[in-house]
Structure 1
Amino acid sequence: MAREDFNDLLWFLAVAEERSFTRAAAKIGITQSTLSHTIKRLETRMGIRLLTRTTRSVSTTEAGERLRKSLGPRVAEIEAEIDALMELRDKPAGTIRLTLSDHAYHTVVWPKLSTVLSDFPDIKVEFSLDNGFRNIVEEGFDAGIRLGESVEKDMIAVRIGPDWRQVAVASPAYLEKQPLPGHPQNLIGYNCLNMRQERSGGLYAWEFEKGGQEIRVRVDGQLTYGSSFPMIDAAIKGYGIAYVPEDLAEKHLASGELVQILDDWCQPFPGYYIYYPSRRQSLPSFKVIVDALRH
């Protein structure tokens, strides 16, 4: 049956349920003569009588009743699904998928979302934690959270955290074995804790800046990680120099478990942003997430 003929089926269903052309026409919002003509056209096209008409009533034939029982639940299911979708437009509900690093999750995202999500039980959030760069459109994410310098230019971006910096740290015991590196390039001769980029597979080149001079150093060492968090413990235990977010190292620097080196080469950079395609803005559930994270 042609797609444009589906209305004929819906109008038949209205007559079969109301058992009256007059009431069905009023319910649909058309004239009784138009409705009667449409049902006759449907019966002619199908080659079977669907309704039995008398001067006082309308009833379904055996074939018409079979069609009504088959068609009715399906139409009701479609209408219920449409109603549910319309609710997504009007109230915060549904699933929001986010891709972000574990550092962003623990330091910015979860501290903010944990205080508001309990007020919106119909919002579900799926967190995909990794340190690589993801194509959020191709991979079905609603938004990504990355450093401001990494956000794709064709996305809407909202700042969600302050500037921060990476710092080079090591244990006092490790640094006693050899002189402090006075320049980032000197790190090449040290045992350093590497970070592997999950998506590209390459090792992260440590980035330093001083007086307008930018340097990227590819270090080497015994241990390689996919997250900054375990690097702190390895550095405390003397396995080498780690290059980690400053907030992860602060308490260990204060306690003396770690020592910071090359401080004047470690400059702050734009913090985390949530970025997304423009079409996501219209979802109430997504607005709740963005407003909660906004810096």
Structure 2
Amino acid sequence: MKQNFTVRQGALDGVEVFLSVAQHRSFRRAAADLGVTPSAISQTVRLLEARIGAALFIRTTRSVGLTEAGERFLSHAKPAFEELVAASEIARGFGARPTGLLRLSVPRAVLPILLEPLIASFCQAYPEVEVEIAASKELIDLAAEGFDAGIRLGQFVEADMVAVPLTPPLRLIVVGSPAYLTAHNRPTHTDDLRLHACLRWRRSGGALALWSFNDNGHAIEIAVSGPLIANDFSTMLGGALEGMGLAQLPEPMAAEGLRTEKLVQVLEPFAPVIPGVFLYYPDRRQTTPKLRAFIDHVKRRPAESHQKT
């Protein structure tokens, strides 16, 4: 059966005073060392002895010595107190400068186009911080899973999170390979998609995502069909490059394929704008120095690095 243990309030009161008196063998010198009055030292020692239930010092008008109980207490209390002081210094160091392990939950798709160059420059700037990247499509509970922050598209960030933009708003574009578009009539309107193989994305909750469009200022969503269902954008991009069909992707993901002409954009007038990629974390008041350093590093990124994404 599990027992409940509690640390008694004030259990450590007087230990530092005891150690100082034991070191100096003098109440007066201990008072000077700790910056208090001799009477305060005497009162604290009396309370400590009363709480322990044994006399710790032998006092005369000329000297102060340790009782046997005091010697035993000193032998255990001194190293334990020094460990506490050292632990406090270590914790204070973590609270004062960027150091330690920074854990980030990110979707795999953003790693090559956004995060890799950002992480590289951050690690160079803050060598005392170790960065751990957990690539996952799932929207996880950051606090429960032990992550400092996450990175996601803006529409997937919960409203109670603090969010820092990593990119400007993005367009969702429809792309296909030249070979696919040669074999099929190029769509000119969203209604044409019913005649096309469309690569679909299943959300982490299990539902198939509809394709979103902007039709003359009106937001519309369309259910499409096709040969491939994936749970991440990277797989959909690969399918589009292989000529399996059309894919709707955040524009930065398709940028390299468009640049090398391995992909062609269609339905460009209907491309909607969505919130960009955000760094998010639970509580501004609990921001650690390592996370604050990463946030500041993100904010210092030059404008041209945003445009690359």
The TM tier, using the shorter chain, reads: 0.7 to 0.9
- What code does the residue aligned with 2:114 have? V
For each residue in 1:38-84, what CA deviation from the matched residue of structure 2 results, as whole angstroms up to 9, or x when unmatched?
A: 32333344332322334443333332222222222222222222222
Match of 2:279 in 1: 274
Tell me, yes or no, if the aligned pair for 1:147 and 1:271 is still in contact at 8 Å: yes
- What code does the residue aligned with 2:278 have? Y
1:137 is displaced (CA, Å) by 4.6
- Distance in 2 (CA, whole Å) between partners of 1:85 and 1:45 is 29
Match of 1:232 in 2: 237
TM-score using structure 2 length: 0.81
Instruction: Report how many residues are paired.
Output: 293
1:94 pairs with 97, 100, 108, which one? Answer: 100
Match of 1:291 in 2: 296
The secondary structure found in structure 1 opposite 2:55 is: coil
Give the root-mean-square deviation of aligned CA atoms: 2.7
TM-score using structure 1 length: 0.84
- Distance in 2 (CA, whole Å) between partners of 1:17 and 1:94 is 36
The secondary structure found in structure 2 opposite 1:73 is: helix
Match of 2:211 in 1: 206
1:289 is displaced (CA, Å) by 0.9
Distance 1:41 1:169, change over 3 A: closer
How do 1:60-99 residues align onto structure 2 when only pairs under 5 Å count?
60-99=66-105
Identity %: 35
1:204 is displaced (CA, Å) by 2.6
Distance 1:178 1:116, change over 3 A: closer
Runs of at least 4 residues off by over 6 Å: none
1:169 is displaced (CA, Å) by 1.8
Can you give the 5+ residue segments of structure 2 that lack an aligned partner in the other structure? 1-6, 302-309
Can you give the 5+ residue segments of structure 1 that lack an aligned partner in the other structure? none
Distance 1:110 1:57, change over 3 A: farther
1:140 is displaced (CA, Å) by 4.1
Tell me, yes or no, if the aligned pair for 2:55 and 2:67 is still in contact at 8 Å: yes
Q: Does 1:13 align with 2:19?
A: yes
Tell me, yes or no, if the aligned pair for 1:113 and 1:293 is still in contact at 8 Å: no
Distance 1:266 1:58, change over 3 A: same
The secondary structure found in structure 2 opposite 1:96 is: strand
1:36 pairs with 37, 42, 46, which one? Answer: 42
Tell me, yes or no, if the aligned pair for 1:209 and 1:265 is still in contact at 8 Å: yes
The secondary structure found in structure 1 opposite 2:273 is: coil
Tell me, yes or no, if the aligned pair for 2:186 and 2:266 is still in contact at 8 Å: yes
The secondary structure found in structure 1 opposite 2:187 is: coil
1:58 pairs with 55, 64, 67, which one? Answer: 64
